[in-house]
Amino acid sequence: MITSKLTSISEIVNNWLKFAEAKNAILLSFSGVIITIIFTYIKTSTNISFTVYIGFTIVVFILFISLLICSLSFLPKIDIEHFIWLRSKPSRKSKILLKDTDNFYFFNDLKKYQPETLLDSMNRLYFDNQVQIPYRKEDLDIANQIIINSEITSIKFIFFRIALWHLIFSIITIGFSLLISVLLHSKL
C-alpha cells in the first residue's frame, strides 16, 4: 500500500531531477555558444569599438561564472554539499517546518523530512494510520532515496536560477555596450 505510493513519488522526484539536469545542460550549452560567438566576433572584427570590446569582455566574464555554476550542478551530491552556502534546507531535526499542507509530490517539501517522519506523515494523511509501525526497511529505503533526490533536485534548481540570472545580466550587458557604442561612436 505505502510502497506503491512511495514508488510513485520516487518516479515524480526523479523526473524533476532529470528536468533540473536538462535545464542546467541547456544553459551550459547556451552560455558556451554565446562565449564562442563573442570570441569569434572579436577575433574576426577589424573595427570593433573599445566600448563594445569592454562590454564583451565583461559579458564573457559573467558567462564564465554562469558556466562554472552550471558545471557545479553536475557534481555528485557529496561534492555539492561542500558548498555550505547553498544549503537551502532546514536542519533535518527541525519539525517546525513540517506541515500537514506539505505536498508529498513536490521535491521542495519532501527535502525537509527524514525517512521515518515522511512515512509517519504519509501514514497519517494518506492512509488514516492504517500502515503498520515499525515501517518495513524497503519503505524506509525508498523514503530515504526520495528525500536525497529531493535535496539534489532543489540544489540543482538553485544552481540553475543563479546561472540563469548571470546569463540574463550578460545579455543586458551586451545590449548596453552596443547602445553606448552607438551613442558614442555612431558605428559598431
Q: Which residue has the higher pLDDT, 1 or 85?
A: 1
Q: What are phi and psi of 135, to 5 degrees?
A: -75, 150
What confidence tens digit (pLDDT) does each residue in 99-150 have?
778 889 999 989 999 999 999 999 998 888 888 889 999 999 999 999 999 9
**Cα 34 to Cα 73: distance, rounded to the nearest angstrom:** 20
Report the domain count for the chain. Answer: 1
pLDDT of amino acid 81: 52
Instruction: Enumerate residues 6+ apart whose C-beta is below 8 A from 72.
Output: 80, 83, 159
User: pLDDT grade, residue 187 (50/70/90)?
Assistant: low
DSSP letter at 86?
A: G
pTM score of the predicted model: 0.79
Mean pLDDT of 36-51: 89
The predicted structure's pLDDT at residue 36: 94
For the stretch 48-105, pLDDT in tens is: 888 888 999 999 999 999 999 999 888 776 555 554 444 444 554 455 466 778 889 9
Among residues 108, 93, 116, the alpha carbon closest in space to that of 155 is found at 108
Q: How many CB atoms lie within 10 A of CB 55?
A: 22
pLDDT tens readout for residues 150-173: 999 999 999 999 999 999 999 999
Max CA-CA distance within the chain? 77
Kindly report which listed range (32-41, 77-86, 171-180) carries the lowest average pLDDT score.
77-86
pLDDT at 61: 94
pLDDT at 18 over 60: yes
Which DSSP state fits 47? Answer: S
Q: Which domain holds residue 103?
A: 2-185
Q: How many CB atoms lie within 10 A of CB 125?
A: 13
pLDDT at site 183: 85
Residue 84 confidence (pLDDT): 41
In degrees, to the nearest 5, what angle opens at C-alpha 56 toward C-alphas 55 and 61? 100
Instruction: State residue 27's pLDDT score.
Output: 94
CA 146 vs CA 64, 118, 119, 154: distances in Å: 33, 10, 11, 12
- How many whole angstroms separate alpha carbon 58 and alpha carbon 150? 35
Alpha-carbon span 147 to 155, nearest angstrom: 12
